[in-house]
Amino acid sequence: MAEIKDSVKVHGMWASPWVRRVTIALKIKGIPYEYFEEDLKNKSQKLLQYNPAKKLVPVLVHDGRPIAESLIILEYIDEIWKNSPNLFPNLPYQRAIVRFWAGFIDLQIFEKLRDVVKARNDQDEEKIIKEIQENVKKLEANVKELYSGITHTNGETMQILDILMVTLLPIINGVEEAMSVKFINPENFPLAFSWMKSGEGVPAVQDTVPNHEKLVSFLRKLRQHIRNL
């Protein structure tokens, strides 16, 4: 457990899977934190001060010092609070592989799921859907090397790639329903889907999952707004 002296704050936004990575990591390591919900249309002075370069959530503020970018925050959390579970493997080669795939899943899947919602027209949308499908296919081909097949019952067995994968599923479901199109079928990617579902029973995952209807309505409005610009 974190020592009492630690002050840990998270600036976040309820729908953000990037924020959720951080709150799940804190919860499974048993680190108490204060949460500040940001209105991203009217960001707090603190957020602008903490992340002036990007002005994005999540920001973790540890004893008054801000850290931005979810993957960097996860590494920081693991280095500062060394109690189990360790979010990264110990061996340098394994750590490198995990960093590679964390980056791949982040940029080639999560970011593109945001891009597809923000596509300006059907043509752009179709192009991005194809890219996402190609990227999930590449991930599927590597799942056996990356995921032991375990079903997580608590946070103790979860590492960083597990956290990313379990936070992907609600976003895929939300984006597909908001767009009324199913483009990542479980039948085509059975291994990736079983990994995405592997943490559904973990309390830290359940506690942080965004409400599906609220998420769909949020994404629908965002999509409509972009298309009306």
Which spans of this chain sit near ligand GSH (rule: CB under 6 A)?
13, 16, 18, 40, 55-58, 69-71
Distance CA 205, CA 102 (A): 18
Nearer to ligand GSH, 55 or 220 (CB): 55
Tell me the H-state helices in the chain: 17-28, 45-50, 70-80, 92-104, 111-117, 122-140, 143-146, 160-179, 190-196, 203-208, 212-228
Contact present, 110 and 174 (Cβ < 8 Å): no
Q: How far is the CB of 69 from ligand GSH (least distance, A)?
A: 5
Compare residues 21 and 152 and give the one whose CB is closer to ligand GSH: 21
Residue 173 CB, nearest approach to ligand GSH (Å): 17
Contact (Cβ atoms closer than 8 angstroms) between residue 26 and residue 10: yes
Q: Which is nearer to ligand GSH, 172 or 189 (CB)?
A: 172
State which residue, 69 or 162, has the beta carbon closest to ligand GSH: 69
User: How many Cα atoms are found within 13 Å in the side-chain-facing hemisphere of 106?
Assistant: 17
Least distance CB 2 / ligand GSH (angstroms)? 22
Is 2 strand, coil or helix?
A: coil
Give the relative orientation of helices 17-28 and 70-80 as an angle to the nearest 10 degrees. Answer: 10
> Minimum distance from CB of 144 to ligand GSH (Å)?
27
Kindly state the smallest distance separating residue 175's Cβ from ligand GSH, in Å: 13
The runs of H, that is alpha helices, within 4-121 are: 17-28, 45-50, 70-80, 92-104, 111-117
CB atoms closer than 10 angstroms to residue 131: 15
Q: Closest distance between ligand GSH and the C-beta of residue 71, in Å? A: 6
Nearer to ligand GSH (CB atom), residue 18 or residue 101:
18
Closest CB to ligand GSH among residues 76, 126:
76
